[in-house]
Amino acid sequence: MNKGNIIIAVVTILVFAGIGVIAYTQSQPPAQISNGGGELIAANGLHAHATVNIYENGELVQIPANVGLSGGHSPIHTHDPNNVVHLEFGGAVYEESIILASFFDVWERDFNERNLLGNTTNNGGEIIMTVNGATSSAYENYQMQDGDEIEIRYADTAAN
């Protein structure tokens, strides 16, 4: 076998191996995303982005890049450390799939009306959430929409 044929064989093997890895990754179930709670939002997928800015005692928390992308490909994820949450679903999408709690589950962090990233309201802390400038009491149950500007603030009011 000459050198040219060996190179062609190696490249062919690498191409097929790459296709196999991509096919396997795409066939894996989304990490920690509910697959059917509530009403159907979209039958043929969804592609949206929401900005989620979190503040702990006035300091902006940087959501890391690639949340939901290591060890698989969650339909809710980040690409860059810019606090933009990507909602990229193929197939059926249900209400529960796009709630804010789903992102925090993928990120493996706590969030509800009494707990934000381990900061609790038990000792006088306060959690306030706004969506597009309006106060929201939906907290973890809020259904993210394309273009949303979500702001979640924790303030340790007992320290003041």
39 vs 4: CA distance, rounded Å:
57
Single-letter amino acid code for the residue at 117: L
Q: Do 13 and 68 share a domain, yes or no?
A: no
pLDDT category at 32 given cuts 50, 70, 90 is very low
Q: Do 144 and 65 share a domain, yes or no?
A: yes
Give the residues across from 51 on adjacent strands: 84, 149
Residue bearing the bigger pLDDT, 125 or 33: 125
- Is there a contact between 88 and 44 (Cβ–Cβ < 8 Å)? no
pLDDT in tens, 86-137: 999 999 999 999 999 999 999 999 999 999 999 999 888 999 999 999 999 9
Position 98 in a domain: yes
Average pLDDT over residues 83-87: 98
29 vs 106: CA distance, rounded Å:
13
How many domains is the chain partitioned into structurally?
2
Q: Do 97 and 26 share a domain, yes or no?
A: no
Q: Domain of residue 14: give its range.
A: 1-30
Exposure on the CB side of residue 101, measured as CA atoms within 13 A: 13
